[in-house]
Structure 1
Amino acid sequence: MGDIGRSTSELLERNKEPSHLTQYIAAISVITMEQNNWFSSTFNLGALIGGLLGGMCVNTLGRRGTMLASVLPFLGSWMIIAFAQNFAMLVCGRVLAGLCAGVTCIAVPTYIGEFASPDIRGTLGTGFQLMVVVGLEYAYVFGAVMTTWRGMALVCAIPPVIYLFLVFFTKESPTYLLSKGKDKEAKEALQYFRGKHYDVEPEMQLMRKTQEEARQNTVSLSDLKKPYILKPLLISCTLMVFQQLSGVNAVLFNLSLIFEEAGSGLPDDVSSIIVGLVQVVVTAISGILMDKAGRKVLLIISAAAMIVSLVALDVYFYEKFLNEERAVETLSWLPLTCLIIFITAFSIGFGPIPWLMMGELFSLNVRGPASSLATMVNWTMAFLVTLLFQPLQEAIGPYGIYWLFAGFCAISLLFCILVVPETKGKTLQEITRHFGGPVTTEDATKKQEELSRF
């Protein structure tokens, strides 16, 4: 999402408005590198606040209600940017856009996780990340053809309108409706999602039992130490941290350099569009694989492939540092190859899966606040990485930055192998039971029967 701001900030730097326009427009026609860093990173700061707000909203306004409530502020953020009279207004617009994005990143995965059936929940959950990369590609394409950043901001105001139209005609989450005592509406909503001829009564019975258990097991801050809450919370937050420390920003920020090293001669805008298209295609493929290969397997493959590509990039830039002529002559093919492998690996695993699993791991009684905390961790890391990336790269060099992120990917690989559970094909109730969470009497009886067979 932050790369939408990157397209806007690039236009800010090369603004083509006539010099005879009013003084206040001229004053913000070009921003400094430091201002550009803040313009990009404050989106993540706003999303951090939105993560906290979203956790409260999904339990008060509902999942669908929260999504609808975010639309007008989203539109307002782009209007503030489009008609900004100074840099402070630009930053305010970015913070507000980030806040709405943070809210959306809680509401949408939670909503999908609750209405999707177990056999297709992975595919539908990946749709969230797919729409994110489609949005990035949208920004890349229009960023290449727009001549002013004001026009770019207005173009970015179109997707929230489409979002409003699509969400308006959907039903609220059956789980949320049931939690508010709206049994009839919950059943109608579940029937809407399952189809006219599907018998939803057995699923409704299970949902009612889960709701009853959730009411009997309300939690406070001190209850976070309970294993069935703490374990999935730590797993989700750690996946969010590794997503941001995977090196995706290092690669995307150096797109133009990588394409240049490969001798492509493509303009920066075109290279961004190509990479965005790769992300869209691979994320769509990952949606198909998610309920076949499983989350854990794809995370392991993703981390391993990112390690290989980042180490190879480091080898190239280190060789170039030692002997530029020899590196360009013998390894010019390597940067672009590594870029394709890295983007493919990220898009198939660490891009979509942390968001998908956030909607799966938490039991009903802690789903709102736990998802809020995981989202805040993600955006905090995104803010820090975006703000500190350029100074860090200048301090340790291009090859140093790739070694650093390759190390983080190696740690994430071990974490996925040793800690992350497989949630493919499991109901939300089964996942809760896996962590030792509250189970219904019927679940406990089944578990006892299973144990008695051994």
Structure 2
Amino acid sequence: MSGAENVQDSVGAHNSSQDQVTLSQPPIDRSMAIASLGPINPLPTDKSSDPEEQQIELSYINEIDSKQDEIATEIVPVNDPKLKKVRQRLWTTVLSAIVACIPFLLVGCTLGFPSGALLDLTDLEERLEYKLTREQADLFGALGYIGAVFGGPIAGWISDRMGRKPALMLVSIPYLIGYLMITYARFASDPVVFKTILLIGRFFSGVGLGWSSLAVVVYVAEISPAKFRGRIGSVLQIFLGFGVVLIYALSSIDDFRYFDQSLILVGFVALFTILMPFFCETPRWLLAHGQKDRAIAVLKFLRGPKFDSSSELNMIKVNIASTPKLKTKQTLKEFTKGNVMVPMGLAILLAVFLQAGGLNAIVAFSALILQAAGVPSFRQIALYGTGCTRLILNIIAVFLVDLVGRKFLLFISSIGTFLGTTMLGVHFYVTDPSFCSSMNSTNSSQSEAMEVCNSHLAPLAITAIVVYNIGFSIGWGPVIWLLLGELLPLQVRGIGNGIAVFVMWGVAAIVVGTYASYAEAVQPWFVWWTYSVVNFVSLLFVVLCLFETKGKSLEDIQTRFDKKYGQFKLCFS
């Protein structure tokens, strides 16, 4: 039985007490009540010549008017001093968020899985014909992100039509298929069959990665109160960071191979599948689909049975009342409107900058990069330099994201990622064979000169990766998922986030799939300085294009876009 269902029996009592409170108050003026609930999304003032569009707008106006009448008669007064003394309960929201974030632990594991697995799969000395080539290794890394490209839109469609909770629960299917295939591929008697099963398994685990990136973000954003959404939402990045640490730690254990690691991940999928049915649907989705009693019960479960959540309930109602239920064609037309197009553009650019700055090249190939840089004990350094650094900073970011704000953290973060990639480029430049040979004052061979360069400059590579991970984890890591859940309006949030996730993992697939061949074609130092340019541009984007969302409700953020861009449409819309 779910948490929401556990409190269903209290709904009647809640409604009864609500009626008593309402009777004890003075009569409510309809216009004042609606005004107190917040602004309604403005309709465009230009008159369309398209009869179909005029009919849609007319039905939209009638729908809003009828819903405003309904809301005005259902207002729950919020000035009862007895209710105001009760503080909202947080532990149920936090517990729900923690369970919902288990797939994000698997996101971290899936991102970091190639780092150790490829060391095994490219070094199968006992079965040489099963060994992955460089191109196959690149494909193995990229397939996780290619799968994620498909997972995001699937999750968005299910999230809007079946609910946030079903979309979250169904993520277990691709994860389970993917990691079971990777686990048991080793029993294949033919090298071609082995590699095929392995690559298909990696693809399905990637579908789970993209699916989680949307379903978890939307679910956590919609169950969290505005005041604490930043801190609760940062749990996402903590779980992701812990997932990276976990997979790096497992890969650093002697004789613990890639198939042992994947079997551990199957266990986490099973744990999530058992726990998630006991938790609730989001109140926003329930109200949007006419399930008012269940929405009230969920709010009582999340905020506490004695806390007055009527203000939050009323704000959600007004937001839904001003948001028409759109068919596919109408939804696509929404993306031509300024108040949807602008936040959609911001979400897409955030997704591009997150991935194009070298993030997943470091996460997926951390051990291989350190090995190429001549760093001894590269598996352990990858664990501590990438995994542990990110996890510690993710925990710190939980307390900063609502304290100093999203924009400031992204600003500091962009500086850190720029410095980290620049330093790593410097390391590869000065350890380039031609540069080392030119700086060689002795008559030693090129290989001896390279060994001297690597031994002296290995700390620079370690420092660069640590600086990058500090910068990323303090801002881009936790903030990106919050902003994706905050920026887009309700009527396109599921599909819009699906598009952003599609772009995010599409860019990641390009970065990871081309890293080795790109580095071979133009030298590694040029690759990392390319990422530096991207990180510098992301710094300008943060300063010039983003506004602060700290402490604002989802409805307040949407109203800002409505006021500034609500009258703007593309010329062909």
TM-score normalised per structure 1: 0.88
Question: Is the contact between residue 311 and residue 402 of structure 1 (CA under 8 Å) also seen in structure 2?
Answer: yes
After superposition, residues 184-333 of structure 1 pair within 5 angstroms as 184-215=293-324, 219-252=330-363, 253=365, 255=367, 257-258=369-370, 265-266=376-377, 268-274=378-384, 275-321=386-432, 322-323=435-436, 333=459
Residue of structure 2 in register with 1:68 after alignment: 169
* Range that drifts further, 96-105 or 4-13: 4-13
CA distance in 1, matches of 2:375, 2:495: 47
Task: Give the deviation of 1:217 after TM superposition.
Answer: 7.2
Question: Is the contact between residue 367 and residue 382 of structure 2 (CA under 8 Å) also seen in structure 1?
Answer: yes
* Range that drifts further, 316-325 or 166-175: 316-325
What whole-Å deviation, never above 9, does each CA across 1:99-145 have from its counterpart, x for those lacking one?
Answer: 12211111111011111111211111121122112112111111222
Task: Give the deviation of 1:168 after TM superposition.
Answer: 2.3
What is the aligned counterpart of 2:285 among 164, 173, 176?
176
Task: Give the deviation of 1:304 after TM superposition.
Answer: 1.1
Task: Give the deviation of 1:148 after TM superposition.
Answer: 3.4
- 3-state DSSP of counterpart to 1:98: helix
- Aligned residue type for 1:126: S
After superposition, residues 381-420 of structure 1 pair within 5 angstroms as 381-420=507-546
Task: Give the deviation of 1:352 after TM superposition.
Answer: 2.3
Asked if 1:101 is matched to 2:202, the reply is no
What is the aligned counterpart of 2:224 among 90, 113, 116?
116
Question: Is the contact between residue 331 and residue 492 of structure 2 (CA under 8 Å) also seen in structure 1?
Answer: no
- Aligned residue type for 1:105: S
CA distance in 2, matches of 1:28, 1:392: 26
- 3-state DSSP of counterpart to 2:546: coil
Question: Is the contact between residue 50 and residue 101 of structure 1 (CA under 8 Å) also seen in structure 2?
Answer: yes
User: Would you say how many aligned residue pairs link Structure 1 and Structure 2?
Assistant: 429
- Aligned residue type for 2:313: M
Question: Is the contact between residue 298 and residue 348 of structure 1 (CA under 8 Å) also seen in structure 2?
Answer: yes
Distance 1:31-1:83 versus aligned 2 partners, 3 A rule: same
What whole-Å deviation, never above 9, does each CA across 1:276-318 have from its counterpart, x for those lacking one?
Answer: 1111111111121100111110111111122223223323332
CA distance in 2, matches of 1:28, 1:214: 59
Task: Give the deviation of 1:327 after TM superposition.
Answer: 5.8
Asked if 1:158 is matched to 2:303, the reply is no
CA distance in 1, matches of 2:471, 2:237: 14
Asked if 1:372 is matched to 2:482, the reply is no
Distance 1:83-1:315 versus aligned 2 partners, 3 A rule: closer
- 3-state DSSP of counterpart to 1:209: helix
What is the aligned counterpart of 1:46 among 122, 147, 151?
147
CA distance in 1, matches of 2:532, 2:564: 39
- Aligned residue type for 1:353: V
State the structure with more CA Rg: 2
Question: Is the contact between residue 140 and residue 202 of structure 2 (CA under 8 Å) also seen in structure 1?
Answer: yes
Asked if 1:148 is matched to 2:249, the reply is no
- Aligned residue type for 2:514: L
- 3-state DSSP of counterpart to 1:421: coil
Question: Is the contact between residue 361 and residue 512 of structure 2 (CA under 8 Å) also seen in structure 1?
Answer: no
Distance 1:363-1:437 versus aligned 2 partners, 3 A rule: farther
Task: Give the deviation of 1:204 after TM superposition.
Answer: 0.8
CA distance in 2, matches of 1:204, 1:155: 41
After superposition, residues 433-452 of structure 1 pair within 5 angstroms as 433-436=559-562
Task: Give the deviation of 1:8 after TM superposition.
Answer: 2.8
TM-score normalised per structure 2: 0.71
Task: Give the deviation of 1:338 after TM superposition.
Answer: 2.1
CA distance in 1, matches of 2:497, 2:238: 20
> Aligned-pair RMSD on alpha carbons?
2.4
- Aligned residue type for 2:337: K
Asked if 1:90 is matched to 2:198, the reply is yes
Question: Is the contact between residue 115 and residue 366 of structure 2 (CA under 8 Å) also seen in structure 1?
Answer: no
Asked if 1:427 is matched to 2:547, the reply is no
CA distance in 1, matches of 2:426, 2:148: 35
Residue of structure 2 in register with 1:135 after alignment: 243
- 3-state DSSP of counterpart to 1:225: coil
CA distance in 2, matches of 1:377, 1:45: 10
Residue of structure 1 in register with 2:23 after alignment: none
Question: Is the contact between residue 8 and residue 153 of structure 1 (CA under 8 Å) also seen in structure 2?
Answer: no
CA distance in 2, matches of 1:399, 1:73: 37
What whole-Å deviation, never above 9, does each CA across 1:311-367 have from its counterpart, x for those lacking one?
Answer: 233233323332466966875543222221111001111222222210000111110
Asked if 1:80 is matched to 2:181, the reply is yes
Question: Is the contact between residue 11 and residue 147 of structure 1 (CA under 8 Å) also seen in structure 2?
Answer: no
Question: Is the contact between residue 15 and residue 149 of structure 1 (CA under 8 Å) also seen in structure 2?
Answer: no
CA distance in 1, matches of 2:206, 2:362: 22
Task: Give the deviation of 1:438 after TM superposition.
Answer: 11
Distance 1:214-1:256 versus aligned 2 partners, 3 A rule: same
CA distance in 1, matches of 2:129, 2:268: 26
CA distance in 2, matches of 1:258, 1:139: 17
- 3-state DSSP of counterpart to 2:116: helix
Distance 1:334-1:39 versus aligned 2 partners, 3 A rule: closer
Q: Percent identity?
A: 26
CA distance in 2, matches of 1:426, 1:231: 18
